[in-house]
Amino acid sequence: MEWIQQLVNGISLGSIYALIALGYTMVYGIIKLINFAHGDVFMLGAFIGFYAIVRWDMHFILALLLAMVLCAVIGVIIERVAYKRLRNATRIAALITAIGVSLLIEYTVIFFRVRGASPEAYPEVLKNKTIDILGVQISTQSIFILTVSIVLMVLLQFIVHQTKIGKAMRAVSHDADAARLMGINVDNTISATFAIGSALAGAAGVIFGIYYTRIDPLMGILPGLKAFVAAVLGGIGIIPGAMVGGLVLGVVETVVSALGYSLWRDAAAFVILIFILILRPAGIFGKNTREKV
């Protein structure tokens, strides 16, 4: 029964990683860019939710929606200002720019905050009760986090497969030049991809704050890297792969902690990355492709 409880905890944590990983994988699938500033958008979402609840006395759901909307706007601004001019640049130039944007966001937040880099305690907006299900003690907080994450993932699948912008995203991902010839506005499609991915990261930030009750301006670094590992694990550029990769990573971390190796919890993600790059570089859902030389 204890292991079932740990499994539920791992899935809850993994769902947060999955929401962040979706932004990585969507952007990479469209423009082949690893947006390392994505973890800091996740951090901004946590702070937006925090101030919405504490300063503006908003309900949790409204704070979550506000964080998603503002993070979507921030994601579009980042894409238009920093990345749009680098569409035809080398990948290393885009990668260095992404790292620069990440540092800019982190230290801008530190500069404008009265408390600098010191952490904030997230308010308790959800009463954490325990429910007994067939002898398994499961917290209502874990159930709520998992429910919100699943709803957002299902909504993303609907947008990608059933809406006009989703079809445009898939077309641009497959062949941007052909999509442009068919009348698709590639620039707007890329901006929409950043907006959706950033909105999911913002939601993950609010959920993370509720789950861990502590946020700070540098909190996006480690979860952002782990979410990148989750995206690579599932198959970078593949949306279901990011979901599965995040859940697997969360369960692995929880199991490592439950076995008494909590110091190795963070290292587990990068051990998985090393093995997946050696054994299956394309990821769980990825396929090896041939390139003509």
- Separation of alpha carbons 170 and 76, rounded Å: 19
- Separation of alpha carbons 25 and 176, rounded Å: 17
Q: Dump pLDDT digits (tens) for 117-168.
A: 888 888 887 777 777 766 667 777 788 888 888 899 999 999 998 999 999 9
Q: What is the pTM of this model?
A: 0.91
- Separation of alpha carbons 140 and 24, rounded Å: 29
State which amino acid sits at residue 269.
A
- Cβ atoms of 120 and 59 within 8 Å: the answer is no
Going by their DSSP bridges, the two strands 136-139 and 120-121 should be labelled as: unpaired
Give the pLDDT confidence score for residue 32 in this predicted structure: 86
- 95: exposed, middle or buried (C-beta count within 10 Å: 0-12, 13-18, 19+)? middle
Residue-wise burial string across 197-210, b where 16 or more C-beta atoms lie within 10 A, e elsewhere: bbbbbbbbbbbbbb
SS (H, E, C) 235-293: CCCCHHHHHHHHHHHHHHHHHHHHCCCHHHHHHHHHHHHHHHHHHCCCCCCCCCCCCCC
- Separation of alpha carbons 285 and 234, rounded Å: 6
- Rounded to 5°, the CA angle 109-51-201 comes to 70
Output the six-digit token pair for 25. 């994988």
The per-residue pLDDT string of the chain (293 residues; one tens digit each, 9 = 90 and over) reads: 677 777 888 888 899 999 999 999 999 888 888 888 999 999 999 999 999 999 888 888 899 999 999 999 999 999 999 998 888 888 889 889 999 999 999 999 998 887 778 888 888 877 777 777 666 677 777 888 888 888 999 999 999 989 999 999 999 988 888 999 888 999 999 999 999 999 999 999 999 998 888 899 999 999 999 999 999 998 888 888 889 999 999 999 888 888 888 788 888 888 888 888 888 888 888 765 555 54
